[in-house]
Amino acid sequence: MSGPEAGMSGAVVLAVLAAALMHAGWNAMLKTKGDAFLSTVAVAVSAGLLCALALPWLPQPAPASWPYIAASALIHVVYYALLMATYRDGDVSLAYPLMRGCAPLIVASFGLAFMGERLGAMQWLSICLICGGVLAMTGRARANTAASRRTALLALASAATIAAYTLVDGAGVRLSDAPAAYTMWIFAATAPGVAALAVRRRRELLPFVRSNPALPGGGALSVGAYWVALWAMTQAPVAAVAALRETSILFATAIAVLVLRERVAPPRLAGAVLIACGAAAMRLG
């Protein structure tokens, strides 16, 4: 088992930024395909199928990591269920920043107790800048209605599941000696549970995928993004990697402006600046 370094090398930072770009890419697909529920199911199931096909050709994870794979798959299914409930009738501009901004703070807070990791002052600063930037992107999202309060609570519950599977996988991947296969087993084991969540709309799923053939590519991006992130957790503190992954919202903003032609309000620009500063500080940590 390889241990993490105290800081983050330039190569690890660049790798996690690449993972964040991939994460933003497949999330942008969800937004452009019209039905976020079916898109999410299609991406998760296609990712699981791709991983199942690749697994026989890879060195398998060490036995000590298998309980972590099982726990992670279960938590991921709960996460997808919460995500679908959050997005069913909630405001994405409120939910997404809450989920992605709070999760790294939870990971950092519990990282010492769960994994014995200690962060330096610069790493804490960078985590706070990134998370603050993500939360700033709630902008004018309103949370003073009953529906918005429900969305916020579901988003915070989702953040807790993100933190839980991040901590579990950060420990498990270090025991696995095989980051690629460890990652792929998680996706392969999660896919049946996600498919079960869509049982009521199962007749719609295959026609939807046929009409949106790019979605399996989103599954590949999802696997690649998490694979790189888990590999990075074998090289650097889990909390630092978890925070740097949230630069995905910076790339998502760029995609929104350049590809989707959306207007970006000043709070989102301010949040983007904070995230960029946090990413730069992470390299100095």
The per-residue pLDDT for range 249-266, each reduced to its tens digit, is 777 677 666 765 666 667
Cα separation of 47 and 224, whole Å?
A: 10
Consecutive H or E run containing 93: helix 92-115
Asked whether the predicted pLDDT for residue 1 surpasses 50, the reply is no
Residue 217: CB atoms within 10 Å: 15
The per-residue pLDDT for range 114-123, each reduced to its tens digit, is 666 676 777 7
**What rounded mean pLDDT belongs to the chain?**
80
Asked whether the predicted pLDDT for residue 89 surpasses 70, the reply is no
Rounded average pLDDT over 265-270: 72
Asked whether the predicted pLDDT for residue 174 surpasses 90, the reply is yes
The per-residue pLDDT for range 16-32, each reduced to its tens digit, is 888 888 877 776 666 66
Contacting residues for 56 by C-beta, under 8 A, at least 6 apart? none
10 Å CB burial of residue 167 (0-12, 13-18, 19+) is: buried
Rounded average pLDDT over 78-104: 72
Q: So what's the pLDDT on residue 147?
A: 63
Asked whether the predicted pLDDT for residue 274 surpasses 90, the reply is no
The per-residue pLDDT for range 207-222, each reduced to its tens digit, is 888 888 777 888 888 8
Cα separation of 30 and 222, whole Å?
A: 12
Residue boundaries of the structural domains of the chain:
10-284
